Structure 1
Amino acid sequence: MIYSPYTQLPTLAELRAVALTIRRRTRSRHGAWSDPGRERAPDERLLGMMGDPFDSVSDVSERLGAVETYLRDRGDRRSVFLTVYTEMTANVHDGIESGAFDDPEWVRDYLVAFADRYRTALVASERGNPAEVPVAWQLAFDASTSGDTILIQDALLGVSAHINYDLTYALRDVEIDPERPSKLRDHNRINGILQQLVDVVQRALADVYDASGYTRVDELLGSLDEEFTLIGLKEARSLAWRNAVLLTDTESRLIRRFVHWRVEAVSTGAGHFILAPSTDQSVIRALRNIERERVPMDPLREAFHRRLRERVIEID
């Protein structure tokens, strides 16, 4: 069956993301979140760790874990996304070993291709080559190094860019045929793991802020999930699959251009929304002040893993 863009009408969330992207483009390419200090020299150690493509799930797990530790030790908030992502990789790997997936070899390829999308964006950004970095990822990297975000924004910016931008192309690269229905089930299982981990990191953040004496955490957590991320993880996962279907099932240049435009517009709009959510700004300011007094990346990681020990991540 040949699909067209009209087989799936855009959701209201998607339209909001596109509208926000268009509005922001009346400013600069990256808006107010471009990193004014980006003239710094590239981190050669980081580039050495991430310069080569991943070649296996074990390679993904080991190198992402090493980079997460390296960045966290340096107080680099780009590590916050990796705290979540390394755990997702470990859980998917466990699922492969336990037989939880219909097509374990495809899932291995999927995991490597997905991680390599993040790797290439990080390397291009670190080398100072913005033209090679998806806008959603540059927003995430610039914001996390600006010192103006809070930790949940750092985590969600990475999750959003990885799903709203990278996932379409990772699916295309590993191919969704043959046996498309079983691959769709495995795709949903992987992203279900990520959804559970985002829930865990939200609870871990609540632990960190509670320990600092902040009592309004529930106000922030209550506004996250679908509203905070604009398009929501569930819809983003579905949209990535639909995009991959369009790229697979048609040779039309027009439809392919439409998909590429939609991927960039939605991922960029979602990133801008995370940076300026409709949440009470007094809550954001209070949390930012707490984090500036003591950047709680180590406590966050400890709380995250403590919460993980209390919860079994399920693969449906």
Structure 2
Amino acid sequence: MTTIDEVIKELDEIIIDCLKKSSTSGYFAVLYKKVTVRVKEGIRNNFFDNGEMMETLDVIFAKRYIDAYKNYADGNQVTHSWKRSFELTNDNSITVLQHILSGINAHINLDLGIAAYETTRKTNIHELKNDFDRINEILSDMVHEVQHNLTTIWPPLRFILQKTGTADDLLVDFSMELARDGAWEFAVLLADNKEPAIPNLIEERDRKVSDKIKLISPSGFALKLIFNLISIFEKGSVPDKINSLKEEL
């Protein structure tokens, strides 16, 4: 892949595959396609300082997810973060919200920093900072839009989130604040180190990010209860839910 249009085509194929397999991986794929479309629109409308660099970043970033999806499906090795995320697809008690958060964890907390580093290997990574922040504006908007649209599809979720600020804080804090700052710091860390140190730094980061899956599958009674309540109101088959998200997002 070398263009955003090719990325979008690959994401469409993943969504179709998830629909055929009734795979909950489709929830994140739908969200990610929407983010990619918005990045494409941003480049076209001069939202970014350097549209060409943003397209390169988008392709490198997306390729990490697409490769992870295909490699896991084929039984090949993937990062610890994606392995933990894809393993959740076998848990029928996990909500749509949790599936999306698990994808955000692996892709933003690990992949985004690596993609930023790889995009700027021949330049100064700090030249990317303004556009990196703009990418995160898009991601942040999409996370809030996901929450809004999930409450549209399953109205009781709105009541649950309003009455339990904990779940709402979990979505915002986990997916964006930690990810935004952590991804950039990780990208700068990679850029500041010599090539031989990069694999070990990525491995260390990968293990830390994979451990954050505990926030998505909490053992605490309160959050468990909240997610269990949410799951009660998620009616329909997996393909039904994927199609609902496609329509709403």
State the TM-score bracket (shorter-chain normalisation): 0.7 to 0.9
- Equivalent residue for 1:273? 215
Quick one: distance in 2 between partners of 1:229 and 1:222?
Answer: 11
Q: SS in structure 2 opposite 1:178?
A: coil
Cα-to-partner distance string for 1:126-160 (whole Å, 9 max, x where unaligned): 1112xx21111111111123323110001110011
**Which consecutive unaligned segments of at least 5 residues does structure 2 have?**
none
Moved over 6 A (4+): none
CA shift at 1:230, angstroms? Answer: 6.5
User: Measured at CA, do residues 174 and 214 of structure 1 come closer, stay the same or move farther in structure 2, by a change above 3 Å?
Assistant: closer
1:168 to 113, 124, 148: 113
**Which consecutive unaligned segments of at least 5 residues does structure 1 have?**
1-53, 309-316
Q: Does 1:124 align with 2:71?
A: yes
- Equivalent residue for 1:237? 180
Q: Does structure 2 conserve the Cα–Cα contact (< 8 Å) formed by 1:230 and 1:270? A: no
CA shift at 1:272, angstroms? Answer: 2.3
Q: Does 1:133 align with 2:75?
A: no
Q: Does structure 2 conserve the Cα–Cα contact (< 8 Å) formed by 1:208 and 1:296? A: no
User: Measured at CA, do residues 142 and 220 of structure 1 come closer, stay the same or move farther in structure 2, by a change above 3 Å?
Assistant: farther
Q: Does structure 2 conserve the Cα–Cα contact (< 8 Å) formed by 1:202 and 1:221? A: no
**Bigger radius of gyration among the two:** 1
CA shift at 1:228, angstroms? Answer: 4.7
CA RMSD of superposed structures (Å): 2.7
User: Measured at CA, do residues 303 and 116 of structure 1 come closer, stay the same or move farther in structure 2, by a change above 3 Å?
Assistant: closer
Report the identity percentage: 23
CA shift at 1:165, angstroms? Answer: 1.4
2:55 to 108, 116, 131: 108
Quick one: distance in 2 between partners of 1:110 and 1:243?
Answer: 15
Amino acid of the structure 1 residue aligned with 2:214? H
Q: Does 1:294 align with 2:239?
A: no
Quick one: distance in 2 between partners of 1:140 and 1:231?
Answer: 15
TM value normalised by structure 1 = 0.69
- Equivalent residue for 1:150? 95
Number of residue equivalences:
248
Q: Does structure 2 conserve the Cα–Cα contact (< 8 Å) formed by 1:72 and 1:297? A: yes
Q: Does 1:80 align with 2:27?
A: yes
Cα-to-partner distance string for 1:218-245 (whole Å, 9 max, x where unaligned): 2587324553576442232222222222
